[in-house]
Amino acid sequence: MSDIFGMETYGASPDRANGDFGTVPSTGDLRRKYNFGDRISELSIAQDPFFRFVSQVAKKPTDDPEFKFTEQRHSYHKRYAYVTAHGASSAVSTTADATIAAGAVDQGDVYYFKFGTDFKSSGNLSSISGQSNNKIDVGDANTAPSFFLPDQIVKINYRGEDEGTNFKIPTGYILVKIKEVTAVSTTHQILKTEVVKGVATAKDLMWASASAAVSATYNLTISDDLEPKRCYVVGNAHKQGSGYPESWKDQPYSSAFGLTQIWKTAMAMDNTTRATVLKYEPNEFARIWRTKLIEHKFDIEQSLLFGSQNTVDGVQYTEGAVNFITNYGNIFAGSGIGGTGAKSQDDFLDDMSQFLDPRYNNANATLFMCSTDTYNWMHKLSGYFSANISKVADYSSGSSTALGRADFSIAGKKSVYGLDVTQVMTPYGAMNLTRNIHLDGTDVKILAINMTQCAYRPLVGNGLNRDTAVYVGVQTLENSGVDRRVDLIQTEAGMEWKMPEAHAVWLKSVS
């Protein structure tokens, strides 16, 4: 709580031109004017960009201080699996050999494949880029590809035999029709198949065995490392009059919870001081009260960024953006952003490609908050221009002189809820970039937040709204009988975070 303010508490007015920083009489000495002007300067900073956004576009009241919510991840784009073993009988090969022999998969042949995948069948939960603590490996419990059904057709990529161990560049594919499906615990499925489109020569299947594992999928790119090994359902085929096919049911839901946090900011002033008219701003109480409101918002902004959800000794703490995204969201290396280092603009574009891959994340971040050095780095476009340039002919001059066109550029600035937002145009859409000074001095370079997948949840219920309520009271000073006014700003709210694949962070160092 603020101290009681008296006339003698106002700070000195230093004679800075002569190196004096506090020895001249203070403004509280009202017997002299000192030829003060009629105006004063007020410094203004962008205090709370994140709180301003969530309170404007993502407010969703709750009537319980411990609120729960559900996430839904669809399965229609996750019907893929990896070949982990294969053979001519149901006792599929257990050796780490990707090779199918010549003549083994001719059209009409019966062949067996063992499949595993890298996401949980309950909730369709998958690995998150850069998150080793929450990774889901091929063959983990409850990852069996339950979507395989008889009469489905599966596409399986192959490459030339003995072409190394990277298994990244397929040269063709075979098609097989499922005849029977046999579960192997909760980790794999063995498919008895009939070859629809085969290959006559020996080939290596794009592999997920011990010799070419894809178990560490959280550290691999989808397009380069994983997609060539994924085998997809590519439709189904049935005989005329064959009746109803089999079906399957997915479970796309998972649940989580959040907590509200109570913030309080108070000030007090005795009535004598409140009644005294001062220079510049006559009502000192009103001036301090305005700053207390800003201080209160400033505290909420810090909590919504750096808070960690927990309950300690009956005190609840809500989840902050940095904590949630660094623990559950996509993590990319940010070393080199904003200064010297290995990270280039082209590397950043590759990160964006991974983050916005529609096979993994179909929700683009709507707000990119960054530190000051990163904000400056994003405006230095020479690297983007030289690395993403297209040559076009200049026909206006009657010649074919080549001109440069930048594909990664600053489109301009706009004001959103009073904040300066820079639009950076990329091949993957526009980035709405804003500077957040609270990220300076942290290991966070860029924080990408999908504002549709998070919510600011003030506690509202039974006719009571605890979203920044103000309480006024009068308290008597001990042993003096002097009354003072006490004002209290109180907020109780929390943050709800969904879909970690919709959020990302670029960190200075990634373990």
Q: What is the pLDDT of residues 347-378, one digit of tens each?
A: 888 888 888 887 777 777 788 999 988 888 88
Question: What tokens were used for 493?
Answer: 């709210």
Q: 38-82 pLDDT, tens per residue?
A: 554 544 455 678 888 888 878 899 999 999 988 888 877 788 999
CB 40 within 8 A of CB 304: no
How far apart CA 504 and CA 278 sit, in angstroms, is 50
Dihedral angle sign, alpha carbons of residues 326, 329, 335, 336: negative
Confidence of residue 260 (pLDDT cuts 50, 70, 90): very high
Question: What tokens were used for 399?
Answer: 């010649």
Give the H/E segment covering residue 384. helix 382-387
Number of helical H runs and strand E runs in the chain: 7, 27
CB 51 within 8 A of CB 478: no
Q: Is the pLDDT of residue 221 over 70?
A: yes
Cα 351–356–360 angle (5° rounding)?
110
Give 206's DSSP letter. P
Residue 105: what are its φ and ψ, rounded to 5°? -130, 55
How far apart CA 118 and CA 121 sit, in angstroms, is 9
Give 480's DSSP letter. T
Q: 129-145 pLDDT, tens per residue?
A: 888 877 888 888 999 99
Question: What tokens were used for 449?
Answer: 């937040």
Residue 285: what are its φ and ψ, rounded to 5°? -60, -45
Question: What tokens were used for 112?
Answer: 């067996």
> 3-class SS at 404?
strand
Please tell me the predicted confidence (pLDDT) of residue 2: 44
Q: Is the pLDDT of residue 215 over 50?
A: yes
Nearest partner of 439 among 353, 507, 360, judged by Cα:
507
